[in-house]
Structure 1
């Protein structure tokens, strides 16, 4: 998975794979409203921490930089103190990051005061796959006689991680998401004070994933549609897995994205947009059109069957 997504010819290291013209649209790419809400949260967090200077804000897995652009556009009160960093492993994506932003391949060293945000990052981190066959066995990747990749089951796990159910239906599958848990730990260790915010599609338990058809939680995407088996066409499709919450350090708060956005003022921003549009509809300019779009953007971001159902986990330091 690491090679297929992040290797020299991987999905995310190839030019133009992610984003509006790629294979999916993330919340920042719906429009600037998401970033405006995040900017409001950053202001509140900056004040909670005593207005530190510098106030470091990291967008991890930033892609082409849509979220940091929207934060810049929103001009939060903490802007003068803010050190804004966009992190992405892809050199081609880093080249697209806006001016005024530090562009890094990895998380910056700590400790620092601030916020680390990871939007749809953990689901793309490499994970181990286990299959139930007289016990849980890890599925390794081998090469078949025709040169194609195949699964090869290893010995029974001993000891078996406590988050895996002791028994399951033959052929049941589950992820072991060591990389996701390690990323959260690493992010938290970098903070002297502040918050780590993870936004992703999440399952409360690993056992809950194990009882579901595995293609529901282990997904591939290619050209706006569901892709092939995860071992097929490596580097040409996205590979994602729902994040098992019980494998991560326990968050301080867990909310849906809709709840989190409402808590941090999306409703007020939409009402502001409606008022501004009503005042400028006769002679609309770019700011007026942007304000009008807040209504449709909010509908997408709050959709309970879509982005609004994503989970927001917060760890505070």
Structure 2
């Protein structure tokens, strides 16, 4: 999975052109309302931090920096002038990108502000297990039984995905998230992804592939995105441990659906009042289009069911 996604000919390294947006649709690509909501979250973090001279915004798994670009455009000029945006991405920096955006391969350490990871953890490579052994997948999609699981993976499964059958070992995601959270000196770390929680793990896992807007077999040959849902409660526990000596100053992390999170950040799919259609038809059409985009972002059975993990680091509150 690591080689298929991030090797020399890996999907995310050689995607080129529009990048991941050319293969699947995320909340970032669905509507500018999403970037506006993240901008409002950053403003809340800024206030909670006491408006520091430097406000860091770290986008992990930034794609082509579409989210950062949208957030910068949505911020008040005075705040935008204090923001230091970082795009964390393994692919090459896109041509013509805003010069304010630093392009880095991993989150910078010692940041103060907001670390945001939209659909990043699902692409952190993991192993698949079945009945106590690894599942190996060849480049032609053929599966074979691998070796017996070592103790560290057995311990993770016993705690987070007990029982027989197929499971996806999320220990690598826990470690990646904990490392990202640990780069924050003070602020808020947020992970957004399709995810599951203990007691509702999918019986046969979620590993799949995407290419050209379609779901395809998860063949690790670099031709498609290889992805699996995130055990978000396990990541939350790992991230809480990563706050280190400041744990006493950090509230417990919170888990929200995207529907709940965006509602708190002012995104509503409510239809505009019909009276507006008579008073200002153009404004009504714009409001109606915005409501439609908001409805997609918050839809049950779709993007609205994504989970948001909000992990505070030496911050008085975990969420607005």
Any gaps of 5 or more consecutive residues in structure 1? none
Residue 94 of structure 1 deviates from its aligned partner by 4.0
Whether 1:155 aligns to 2:148 is: yes
Check whether the contact 1:42–1:115 (CA below 8 A) recurs between aligned residues: yes
3-state SS of 1:129 partner? strand
Match of 1:240 in 2: 227
Match of 1:112 in 2: 111
Any gaps of 5 or more consecutive residues in structure 2? 238-251, 314-320
CA 1:107 to 1:94, structure 2 compared with 1: closer, same or farther past 3 Å? farther
Worse-matched range after superposition: 35-44 or 246-255: 246-255
Check whether the contact 1:58–1:115 (CA below 8 A) recurs between aligned residues: yes
3-state SS of 1:248 partner? helix
Once the two structures are superposed, residues 105-137 of structure 1 have per-residue CA deviations (whole angstroms, 9 ceiling, x without a partner) of 2211x21211100000000110011111xxx11
Check whether the contact 2:135–2:143 (CA below 8 A) recurs between aligned residues: no
Match of 2:120 in 1: 121
CA 1:195 to 1:86, structure 2 compared with 1: closer, same or farther past 3 Å? same
2: CA distance, partners of 1:274 / 1:182: 51
CA 1:257 to 1:167, structure 2 compared with 1: closer, same or farther past 3 Å? closer
Return the TM-score normalized by structure 1: 0.82
1: CA distance, partners of 2:62 / 2:277: 31
Once the two structures are superposed, residues 164-195 of structure 1 have per-residue CA deviations (whole angstroms, 9 ceiling, x without a partner) of 55542xxx211112221112111221111101
Check whether the contact 1:88–1:94 (CA below 8 A) recurs between aligned residues: no
Residue 231 of structure 1 deviates from its aligned partner by 3.2
CA 1:90 to 1:218, structure 2 compared with 1: closer, same or farther past 3 Å? same
Check whether the contact 1:88–1:104 (CA below 8 A) recurs between aligned residues: yes
2: CA distance, partners of 1:9 / 1:262: 40
Match of 1:225 in 2: 214
Q: How many residues align?
A: 294
2: CA distance, partners of 1:67 / 1:281: 30
3-state SS of 1:78 partner? helix
Whether 1:261 aligns to 2:233 is: no
Residue 202 of structure 1 deviates from its aligned partner by 1.0
Residue 289 of structure 1 deviates from its aligned partner by 7.8
Check whether the contact 1:270–1:294 (CA below 8 A) recurs between aligned residues: no
Equivalence map 1:29-40=2 (5 Å): 29-40=29-40
Return the TM-score normalized by structure 2: 0.82
3-state SS of 1:163 partner? helix
3-state SS of 1:294 partner? helix
Whether 1:177 aligns to 2:170 is: yes
Match of 1:212 in 2: 203
CA 1:274 to 1:223, structure 2 compared with 1: closer, same or farther past 3 Å? farther
Whether 1:293 aligns to 2:289 is: yes
Match of 1:8 in 2: 8
Residue 196 of structure 1 deviates from its aligned partner by 0.5
CA 1:266 to 1:166, structure 2 compared with 1: closer, same or farther past 3 Å? closer
CA 1:129 to 1:195, structure 2 compared with 1: closer, same or farther past 3 Å? same
Worse-matched range after superposition: 78-87 or 46-55: 78-87
Q: Considering only aligned residues, what root-mean-square deviation do their CA atoms show, in Å?
A: 3.0
Residue 89 of structure 1 deviates from its aligned partner by 0.7
Residue 85 of structure 1 deviates from its aligned partner by 1.3
3-state SS of 1:297 partner? helix
Equivalence map 1:26-175=2 (5 Å): 26-76=26-76, 78-91=79-92, 94-95=94-95, 97-108=97-108, 110-132=109-131, 136-140=132-136, 150-158=143-151, 160-161=154-155, 162-163=158-159, 167-168=163-164, 172-175=165-168
1: CA distance, partners of 2:128 / 2:209: 15
Check whether the contact 1:56–1:112 (CA below 8 A) recurs between aligned residues: yes
